[in-house]
Chain A
Amino acid sequence: MCLISIKRLSPAAASAVATLLLLSGCGGGGNSTPATTTPTNPTTPTTPVVDHSGLPPISAETPEPGEHLSGGLATTSVTNNDAFSRRPQAVAQDFQLDGFFTSGDHLFRTPHKDIGPLLNTGNCQGCHLNDGKGKVPTSPQQPMTSMFLKIADSNGNPDPVYGGQLQTFAVQSFTTSDPESGLPKHDGSINGDALFGEAYAYVEYETVTGHYSDGQSYQLRRPVYKVKDLSFGPFNLDVRLSARVAPAIFGAGLLGAIPDEHIQALADENDADNNGISGRLSLSTDVLSGEQRIGRFSYKAQNPSVLQQIAAAYRGDIGITNKLFPQEMCTEQQAACLAAAEGESQSGVMLDFSDRELALVEFYNRALAVPKRRGYDSASASWDEPIIHGRRQFIAIGCAGCHVPRHKTATAQGSVLGQLTLTGLEDNPEPLQWLSEQVIYPYTDLLLHDMGGSCQITRETDNGEDCDSGAQCLYVQRCEGLADDLPEGNATGSEWKTPALWGVGLVQTVNPQASFLHDGRAQTLEEAILWHGGEAQSALDRFKQLSQQERKQVLAFLGSL
């Protein structure tokens, strides 16, 4: 947001503003000497004009040299349906790194022993289809397989019976030839003698219409989430639900290597710069060190590291216990789950996943490359015109206030699990050079923003009549706007982390069934823009005031990311 303020002003004024902003704690993350006094002559800059990364601000008019390499050295030139599955050239050319990547990839996509007992899918790629986004089932009859519902009470605490997320399947869906055998059954596991998935969630859509300033109308799909077949009895009385589709995962290593202070420099909790955007740091606990760290990963930025993100997903989504999360997902109330866990080959204190396997998958996730931009001709170093115009609009209407285009990474430290070798882990992990000191273009500030809206959960039958119990009595969630009403960490029920936009133009190349936003409600990037609200309302209003041609340019720009 500081960046944008600067860009809209003349260079001289921008310098002055930048100086002020630096002093007020916004921007200037690269400057290690904090200013201590108010300058007597604010029109004379005493520090160079720099953005939160310590780099000269980007131009709204002219793309930077190297902007087509969104991930710096961790960019791939592949832009086909494999675009999200590639290793950077720097990894491919180093045989050791190449080998860790290949092994991590194999673990990422193949089933593991001791999955479950309750789970959403049997391996990582079961959700991250082709390493890209998951998909929303096309009918209520299809169970959710690459998305799920988080569950909590009104304070964000896990449900005492169901825990923090609804696992749709029990393990027999994956270990036998009958995928339906582990689907939820109403009260099916309540006696503790049979295990079924926790609950069956599905989505139906209502159509919302609106129109642009030029009169052109549009339609959006507003989701209504319904939950039935609760195998372990009713939810807590003040239940909150939040639908989440698995995101694409490439570029995570780069996002993890952005220095804390650069993100802190962008935070503006009280909107001191008065631009209507008040990005807030997500603070989360590093489960290995116990320290509070800046959250960067997951839709509400609840995980501070790639390692914690994947370890949480292995345990929560697949049922693979590991060093970070050694307890099976079963709650104390789920006797059938606890009994099944005892029957795993690695039960009790034995972990399902070794540290080495976890480190290989961590490496793979950190290393997955960002696809290069399309629409750039390297021979002439020029961009397609609509992309240049769209980029200008994107910045001018304020999108870049949260979707901050550029960051610079610091040294990307090796895994806290140790230095990988092919057959083990050793001490003194080496930094990952190709992720370090890279200028990257992820289009996110990694901060929490209030996106507006609110939700209501009711009990009703399939045809909409009120009810309060029984197999036919559904939990139904309806929301206005993007809110989910489920607080998570220090994120409220209407706050979301700004997601990175790199690669969005290839999401449906990689998985043609994929859609956009946290729950996949937006079928196109245009719909995704139109769902914005809260802090993004003014930017959305400006988008809606653009001409059709200008809107197409914005979409051409997004499509080139």
Chain B
Amino acid sequence: MKLQSTATLTAALLLALNLTGCGSDGNDGVPGLDGQDGADGSNGVSQFVTTDDVVTTNANIAYAVYSDALITAIDMKAHLQALVDNPSADTFAEAKQAWLDAREPYGQSEVYRFRQGPIDAVKSDGAMGEEGDGPEGRINAWPLGEALIDYVAAVVDGDANPESPANALSSNIIANTTDYPQINKAVLLGLFEHGEDERNVTTGYHAIEFLLWGQDLNQDLSGSGPRDATGGQRPYSDYATTANGNPASCTSGEVAASDEICARRGAYLLAAADLLIEDLSTVVNSWEPNVGAHYKAFVAGGDVSLAKILEGMGRLSFGELAGERINIALTTDSQEDEHSCFSDNTHRDIYLNAKGIQNSYNANYIRVNGEVVEGASIHDLLVVEGYHELANQLRAALERTQAGTAVIDTKAKSGVPFDQLIQQGVNQANVVEVINALIDQTEIIEQAISALGVTTNDLRQDTQEF
């Protein structure tokens, strides 16, 4: 917050200097009609910021935010292990908290999607492939047809099934001891998008989320009653086994289950966490400063890289966040279309995605440990290039969005989660405000792209993206 206000002040000062002291002289070195050029300000905004500076800072932040995602995923794995070793109310709560904590950096990393970056295009061996070759789907795919993974309720506020019944397994992976005697990473990977079915999501944050929270069955746990302020209500006894000191205690929700089922559920949880760590590691390695293949290519990419930053910001703002994650959920009023529907953490997804866009613009990211990574920003670049007003408009638009997402975040924390908010109707003011703010900021991002004169790859050049 402090840093933001400094930036605001800076921009205002700069603007003021231009309006009062320096004539608009066309930057030709000749004093303008209004008098002598003003002296350089000493207010913290560089008077000379290059595209390369901006691109490099953006890459450094990518490394930091993905590293934080990795670090928190590793920490989550430790808590999942503790849950599996010793299921209790405490270890269960801590495991869920670790998942929520892990989502904080990841949500801010999503602005690095939609730009042919590692998240979308790096292969498991570290080589850059085509868009779609990256681990994004394995890490964060949704909505899930969770019936593939574990027991589900007969009736759900949403949909537990795959796209086509033909792509359902004869029984869920955890219960299917015949076809999958061992649950391990290979089984999960082998069944990811089983039948080319995009709802058969076996891996990633949301598979883990389902295994921790279970389905959100609403107030009366019937699956069809009024929505409440909590997510799923999976009991920790779903992980109770004789081996972890809880003989004859294993459950599958409301009903008793055999030891083996709970053991397999635990194995699933840990295998999914291992895969998540592996996939995040691949992305982190690709962004490693001075070493990672994508880092090196990206920081050398000049205007094309700058265009990618802005493209990621614009596409996340409009299509992904305003469109798919907010507007579709609002229009359909379906928990199925809610990003983190098991945990009811969608308010954070929205807040953090928007925050990531603002981070990219301000070139500022506060790491999980409190350290700040910052540097040359697009804001600086716009100012230096003479687009003071545009820089200010974009800053303001991003702040308007943050104010709006903060309301959704606050409402959720004070008892009205996103799945209840969207139920208030398609004109729900808080949600509509965020959509409109995102639409507005997207338009200004477009103006910034135009002002900076950058474009991403032209299809006709047929160049392989880096």
Contacts and interface: CB of A to CB of B under 8 A. Distances in A.
Contacts of A511: 196
Interface stretch (A109-117, A486-494, A549-557): A109-117
B130 A79 contact: yes
A381 to B, nearest CB: 10
Contacts of B114: 92, 98
A129 B197 contact: yes
A177 B168 CA distance: 11
B435 interface: yes
Contact of B459 (A73, A121, A179, A354): A73
Contacts of A545: none
Contact of A92 (B315, B445, B446): B315
A109 B319 contact: no
Nearest to A178: B154
Given A89-B456, A122-B161, A174-B159, 10 more contacts: A75-B459, A77-B462, A96-B318, A98-B114, A103-B328, A113-B332, A125-B198, A177-B161, A179-B165, A423-B327
A145 to B, nearest CB: 4
A107 interface: yes
Interface string A58-74: 00000000000100010
A384 B372 CA distance: 52
Interface in A86-133: 86, 88-90, 92-93, 95-96, 98-103, 105-107, 109-113, 121-123, 125-127, 129-130, 132
A526 interface: no
Interface of A: 69, 73, 75, 77-82, 85-86, 88-90, 92-93, 95-96, 98-103, 105-107, 109-113, 121-123, 125-127, 129-130, 132, 135, 137, 142-143, 145-146, 169, 173-179, 354, 356-357, 378, 422-423, 510-513
Contacts of B460: 69
Contacts of B445: 95
B159 A89 contact: no
A145 B435 CA distance: 37
A438 B132 CA distance: 26
Size class of the contact patch on chain B: 35 or more
B165 A145 contact: yes
A130 B196 contact: yes
Which among B133, B143, B446, B460 has the highest number of chain A CB atoms within 10 Å?
B460
B360 interface: no
B154 A177 contact: yes
Contact of A137 (B155, B166, B328): B166
B320 to A, nearest CB: 6
B331 interface: yes
Contact of B164 (A96, A100, A126, A176): A126
Nearest to B164: A126
B132 A106 contact: no
Contacts of B337: 106, 110
Nearest to A82: B132
Interface in B409-464: 432, 435, 439, 442, 445-446, 455-460, 462
16 contacts: A77-B462, A80-B133, A92-B311, A98-B114, A98-B314, A99-B322, A102-B323, A103-B319, A103-B327, A106-B328, A109-B198, A110-B336, A110-B337, A112-B332, A129-B163, A145-B165
A130 B319 CA distance: 20
A510 B196 contact: yes
Contact of B315 (A98, A127, A176): A98
Contacts of A129: 163-164, 195-197
A78 B164 contact: no
B199 interface: yes
A107 B324 CA distance: 9
